[in-house]
Structure 1
Amino acid sequence: MENTFFDKTFRDNEGKIVLAQMPNLPLIVWIVTSLLALVFPSGKINTALDLLANGSLFTWAWLELFQGVNYFRRALGLAVLIGLIAFKIQYS
Structure 2
Amino acid sequence: MSNTLVDKTFRDSDGNIVIAEMPNLPLIVWIATTLLALIFTNGKINTVLEVLANGSLFTWAWLELFQGVNYFRRALGLAVFIGIIVSKIQYS
- Measured against the shorter chain, the TM-score band is over 0.9
Unmatched 5+ stretches in structure 1: none
Query: TM-score, with normalisation over the residues of structure 2?
Result: 0.98
User: What are the equivalent positions in structure 2 for 1:11-90 lying under 5 Å apart?
Assistant: 11-90=11-90
Unmatched 5+ stretches in structure 2: none
Deviations 1:43-87 (A, max 9, x none): 100000000000000000000000000000000000000001100
Deviations 1:7-35 (A, max 9, x none): 00000001010000000000000000000
Cα RMSD (Å) of the superposition?
Answer: 0.5
Q: CA deviation at 1:2?
A: 1.9
| Amino acid aligned to 1:25 | L
3-state SS of 1:83 partner: helix
CA distance in structure 2 between the aligned counterparts of 1:69 and 1:19, rounded to whole angstroms: 9
Aligned length: 92
Structure 1 segments of 4+ aligned residues over 3 angstroms from their partners: none
3-state SS of 1:8 partner: helix
